Structure 1
């Protein structure tokens, strides 16, 4: 029984990672047999994983099929409101509780991420790691859990705002401001810097959506 539970968890994690990394994008159909073959597991844990993902609203029904869900304009706005509030709190708590080593790791991440600027998708993955490091530096497990849920929903965004010309350099500069505030133990500045960073990302996201062709 313990082995079966492990496989089930693994199937869920692999499908979730595939959505998060863009292997499956919003609107893509997920077929139980194809997933089982791709990930080398039986169909039962895949079926249970799909049911779990549907319950979490990461998948939705299209007739009898399951497809990767997408976020409409209102859902996107709601997600960014929650993200802004929770991440601002995480930065504030990180300024209060982060160890010197955690602050150093955040600074090192920014230096390393500059090498990824030509690749928006790689930088987007590094960006998620950077933000999660701030979440962990808050030293509040309940906040980290809630932010994990928020970032799970963010996987439903088909593109990254870091693909907008000039956004990568600006985003890394904003990251540095956040880390400087955390390192200075300035809770207000850390909170404000991270909220501003999220707001700027949301503006870029809205601009991207506005450029999409409108269906006749």
Structure 2
């Protein structure tokens, strides 16, 4: 944490967007955020400026609002995420410790208890993917994936809320972890690519239904 608390304010706002407290189009007011999080306005102001620079917030007149992703932006984001995560899975197959693989397996087992709660399952899904990122043991890749996943928070809904998607996604997670455990980088990368391709397709179908 910085001495003035900037990092804390930034992370608090990111978490609030990620958890759906603030959704695309919602206006963020400096004084309200300071009161909500119990911090002074200066670190909140600096955090908002940083988030605007990262395109997570945008201007609506003089107000800052949570940005939303266009169809093309969502497609571009999935394209980048898919390749980076496939690389993470490939590296995890090479470098993950046995204990890290055990943690991934335990996560899947625990996440099956969350199938009736799409929001909780979405949070668990992020933790699972982040564990694969860490298991790649490549700090630069983890950093880039962190940026991608921050942008993923701008999607107003989770694909895991679609009918039947939760159980299928966890089965796909098992396929990815089995490949990592077998030290088969090619299979792990392909399983991760297929997993995200399916998730993207589900999002597109859900989007089409809302048109």
Range of TM-score over shorter length: over 0.9
- Residue from 134, 147, 150 that aligns with 2:148: 150
1:42-121 correspondence to structure 2 within 5 Å: 42-121=40-119
* 1:139-167 deviation line (CA, Å, top 9, x unaligned): 00000000000000000000000000000
Q: Which residue of 2 aligns with 1:175?
A: 173
| Residue in structure 1 matching 2:182, options 181, 184, 198 | 184
How far off its partner does 1:17 sit?
0.6
In structure 1, stretches of 5+ residues that fail to align are none
Structure 2: how far apart are the matches of 1:106 and 1:152?
A: 22
TM-score, normalised to structure 1, is: 0.96
Using the size of structure 2 for normalisation, the TM-score is 0.98
Which 4+ stretches in 1 moved above 2 angstroms?
none
1:18 to 12, 16, 19: 16
Report SS of the residue matched to 1:61: strand
C-alpha deviation, 1:211, in angstroms: 1.3
SS in 2 for 1:24: coil
Per-residue displacement from partner, 1:55-114 (whole Å, max 9, x unpaired)? 000000001100000000000000000001000000000001111111111000000000
Q: Which residue of 2 aligns with 1:127?
A: 125
In the comparison of the two structures, how many residue pairs are matched? 210
**Distance in structure 1 (CA, Å) of the matches to 2:145 and 2:3:** 29
In the alignment, structure 1 residue 3 sits paired with structure 2 residue 3? yes
Q: Structure 2: how far apart are the matches of 1:48 and 1:61?
A: 15
Distance 1:187 1:160 in 2: 28
1:3: Cα distance to partner? 2.5
Task: Identify unmatched segments of 5+ residues in structure 2.
Answer: none
Partner of 1:39: 37
Structure 1: distance between partners of 2:185 and 2:40: 49
User: What is the rounded CA distance, in whole Å, between the counterparts of 1:23 and 1:42 in structure 2?
Assistant: 20
